[in-house]
Structure 1
Amino acid sequence: MLLKFLGTGTSQGIPVIGSRHPVCLSDNPKDKRLRTSAIITTDSGKKILIDCGPDFRQQMLTNKEENVDAVLVTHEHNDHIIGLDDLRPLIFKNKESMPIYCNARVAKEIKHRFPYAFIEHKYPGAPSFDLFKIDGTFRLFNEIDVTPIDIIHSEINILGFKFKNLAYITDASKIEESEKEKLKNLEVFIINCLRKTEPHHSHFILPQVLELVQELKPKKTYLIHISHHLGFHDEVETELTDNVHLAYDGLEIEF
């Protein structure tokens, strides 16, 4: 299977509007980061989208992606769900509702923010979503098992996801010991890393991530949900160990 990073930036993206920070002014495409999202292509060609933020339309067009068969939502913050309305062309093309998998709190919030997708008599151009509440490991397309990972993001519980020997976690500030057991000795570990030094109340920073990598011992780690304060892609890459890398928009990995 393949995972493609559609976006690897934090909630404001990089460049930040109006910022004169050197990273925001960089000409390196790897320093330009849309809001964090990824798409998995299964062995049978099914497409699983992880989060659907405000850059979803641009991400799909840029990466020449033409379909989504299911959406997994980590949590309800705007940079992770506000692009759901842009699933409409795919819903219309496939002539069926889009299945969205999330926890109960997020399902309630999606209904609140997109009420027109759930009313009985819809406007003809409205999207149609089928919400499935995650409660333990579940199977998609009779092909792939998805194991939810309970993650703490500041004061709320959100979800990470494990597929085979790969785990995808964003917006974490803490992971309980019981959940860490699911993350040990992975082939691929994808984890958020906001910046280098200054602590943040709701996101891991680089020293915390490196400590976690040392504890969990994945074979390879990719950092996502990156802000411009982490630094230039090429410079940070030289400072990391051989098994830890900055992900970047458009990067595709096999697992």
Structure 2
Amino acid sequence: MTAFDTDAVTGRLRAAGCVFAEEEARLLVTTARTEAELAGLVDRRVAGTPLEHVLGWAEFKGIRVGVRAGVFVPRQRSALLVDEAVTLSARHGTRTVVDLCCGSGALGLALLTELATGPTPLPDLYAADIDPVAVECARDNLVPVGGRVYQGDLFDALPATLRGRVDILLANTPYVPTGHIARMPPEARDHEPPTALDGGPDGLDLARRTAAAAPAWLAPGGSLLIEIGADQAAAATALLAAAGLSPRIARSGDPAATVAAGTTSGR
């Protein structure tokens, strides 16, 4: 393989089973500054390291979000969470947003980016995750845009002054049932933290805990938005209703995504 030889890189990636070998090769070649660096990037990708971890960023909602080894890579289907948040903000206005189980902070960053084109002031953004590696990554992404990032278990991480003030609560809680983790692609199960994937026996352990505590943190008319699997819609509707929230299910087809929304009374 010669320096910056895209065809040679493509061949190595294709032989390793990379479905989008040509596009990945282009990204790796444009990222590398030297032949040695390119060889190292390609070796990591061929060994199974997620492309986003190799590059150091993931594209999400048209922006580049910084990621690093050991941090959950934002999925394109999570764009529905941001779209729903933008719609709610346009309808009701938003002063305070929380990105819970934030990982890299992609949701909060994408939401602020989209709201920045509107006529109203940007909301205050708070984010939290239990994983210290994710928290450091999220700080790199969110502090430059005014976000504040905390480490801890769900709401325990947040300042108490936010209670009753959150207009939009984004929660990309893990929703893969424990028994299904072994069936996930190696890129996910071998390189992303289990805390970002494992949702317990039915996949909804964290969603259930989040919904139960959310009413105390949401402002009147505030909304909780949780990403779920398509087959979890009925159970998610029930857990939101059990928490005293008015439930709604939103879906998109490309990419396939499902969001469970729960709203408090008051608007």
TM-score, reference length from structure 1: 0.36
TM-score, reference length from structure 2: 0.35
- Higher Cα radius of gyration: 2
* Bigger proportion of residues as strand: 1
Where relative contact order (Cα < 8 A, 6+ residues apart) is larger, the structure is: 1
